[in-house]
Amino acid sequence: MAKPLMAKATAVWLVDNTTISFKQIADFVGMHELEVQGIADGDVAAGVKGFDPIANNQLTQEEIDVAQGNPLHKLKLKFNPAASGEEKRRGPRYTPLSKRQDRPNSILWLVKFHPELSDGQIAKLVGTTKPTIQSIRERTHWNISNMQPIDPVALGLCKQSELDAIVQKAAAKKAAEGGVMSDDERRKLVSTEQSLEMDAAPKIPTAIEGLETFSLSDDSPEEKEEPIIDADSFFNLPKGEAEDEDESDPRF
């Protein structure tokens, strides 16, 4: 059900000017019943000025009278014929000013890790233009040397579900074209949940692996253990040998 504009301010007005139950007000404005009760007690929305739903063409006085007489009646938003048939605005998604500087980094991430996405899909996902995407693809963007690929979901430019939907659409299109995908491409063209459920890619054994299990065959001669020589034994010679060495040495 559609909710009124300025829901909390509308709830403040209804609490102050009507005898409608907290439950009815909560259902109408989309709040919790205890939160509406907090407005009546002064603990919630302190300082919020009430928003008259009658003057602002959201409720009629007859609807309020019916709700006051019947606690089970649910308030209905006033029908606005001017809003009927209104289509959603087409074009790139709106991006707040505080996040617009992060869009080139997110475009670079999408171009690098999802090259199968078209310029139109990327533009719709993060709210940019095709010339900007093309300049990043061709690395002719004026700030390309300072850009780093960052996930648009982490930047808050789109939702993970929206990214997954576009990736799945790209996967279906590539499958319809009969393209052969590698394991890496297959992981890129699926959602996050599906990628986590896939089996791990086989690892190539290195030259070190398996050496710990190596053993000599029966035909090969067994290796002889070399005696361990103590370095201190060279300096602790018997007294007679030490004197002979001193006399034979021309330095002494």
Residue-wise pLDDT for 157-183, tens only, equals: 888 889 999 988 888 887 787 655 555
pTM for this model (two decimals): 0.41
Q: State pLDDT tens for residues 91-125.
A: 567 777 778 888 999 999 999 999 888 898 999 89
* CA dihedral for 29, 32, 38, 40, sign (positive or negative): positive
Position 231 pLDDT exceeds 90: no
Rounded distance between C-alpha atoms, residue 106 and residue 119, angstroms: 13
pLDDT confidence band for 87 (50 / 70 / 90): low
Q: Would you state the pLDDT for residue 211?
A: 47
Q: Would you state the pLDDT for residue 230?
A: 62
The answer to which of 24-38, 120-134, 137-151, 163-177 has the lowest mean pLDDT is 163-177
User: What b/e string do you get for 82-116 counting C-beta neighbours within 10 Å, with b at 16 or more?
Assistant: eeeeeeeeeeeeebeeeeeebbbbbbbbbbeebeb
Rounded distance between C-alpha atoms, residue 30 and residue 11, angstroms: 10
CA angle 101, 102, 105 (to 5 degrees): 125
Q: Would you state the pLDDT for residue 26?
A: 92
Position 146 pLDDT exceeds 90: yes
